[in-house]
Amino acid sequence: AQLKELITCEDMYVPPRVISASVKPEHERDLSKMQERLKHFMREDPTFNFYRNEETSEFIIEGMGELHLDIYVERCKREFGLVLLKGKPTVNYREIVQKKVDFDFVYKRQSGGAGQWAHVKGVMEPLDINFSSEKGVKNRIMATASNGDVRDGLQKAFVKHFERKILPAGTLLKAPVWGLKVHLQGGAMHEVDSNEQAFKNCAQELWDTMMRKMEPTLIEPWMDVEISVPKANAADVSAEFSRRGGIISDQAVDGEIATLNGETALDCMFGFINDLRSLTRGNGEFSMQFKEYRPMPSFKAQTSMDERNGSLGRPLVRLEEE
């Protein structure tokens, strides 16, 4: 008799893609070819992503580091004769809030005929989440108001607007919002002027008004870094890593090779490979692995926001001074 056994496989762990860059073909006629090849690479490698940013009309590649992206750009050239032009790498930030606020907010608009009116009460606060993985719950938007105060359909419109419009693209940098809990606990409605659109608009204006009071900021990816260099160059490489904001946690020597282990923010590693090669005469190498997202210092977050928003022609947003 044939034996039948149930085989189960665990999900493969795919770390967050922490770096992105714009990309375009050298010749416009190669656009469809570029899309075809990069989509093929996506099927090969789950840590690589390619998509079109509808807001900026740019094509974007995402991966685990500068070298990761460079490898696929080089493969297009070497394997398919396709020359791609890669823009400046950019870090994939996330937006968070750090302070709880209660709200009792009325939205009203009147323009001749029927107007729009919505009244909501509740609380917005930081949500404790796992910042070391893309998986899992990142936000929680809930509504438990009495149906007599606010009809279920209006509550759902409020919740869906947060989920579909606000959370995917935050106010600071149009980056995804993480770690937000919104609880609609009560409110009121007008028998004529309260409809789904009114409660959607209310959700947006509530966020625009209250977000500033919640001490918003950016979080950035931090990486575990391992550097292998000739023993004679270890001190110079360690100094360069520290100059970039890196923290050395361990150092070991095996024969003539020194291994440095540490952690640092991803953007501190941009261009590090060139400095490493210079300091070691081409004999050094390093690897990085995503560790977790961490809040950025205010001055650094502000600088990143100004650079990114300015380059895309978006209004500049100011963080509250600490």
What does the pLDDT look like over 225-268, one tens digit per residue?
A: 999 999 999 999 999 999 999 999 999 999 999 999 999 999 89
Q: Residue range 176-190: average pLDDT?
A: 96
Q: What is the pLDDT of residue 20?
A: 87
Residue 129 has pLDDT above 70, yes or no: yes
From the list 164, 153, 149, the residue with the least C-alpha distance to 195 is: 153
Confidence class of residue 65 from pLDDT cuts 50, 70 and 90? confident
What rounded mean pLDDT belongs to the chain? 92
Residue 50 has pLDDT above 80, yes or no: yes
Residue 1 has pLDDT above 80, yes or no: no
Q: What is the pLDDT of residue 321?
A: 59
Q: Is 34 helix (H, G, I), strand (E, B) or coil?
A: helix
Q: Which residue has the higher pLDDT, 16 or 272?
A: 272
Q: What is the pLDDT of residue 112?
A: 66
Q: Residue 180 contacts by C-beta under 8 Å, 6 or more apart in sequence?
A: 96, 97, 124, 126, 127, 139, 140, 141, 167
Q: What is the pLDDT of residue 9?
A: 76
Rounded to two decimals, what is the model's pTM?
A: 0.82
Q: Residue range 287-310: average pLDDT?
A: 93
Q: Which residue has the tokens 């001490």?
A: 215
What single-letter DSSP state applies at residue 163?
I
Instruction: Give the model confidence (pLDDT) of 187-222 as tens digits.
Output: 999 988 899 999 999 999 999 999 999 999 999 999
Share of the chain above pLDDT 70, in %: 97
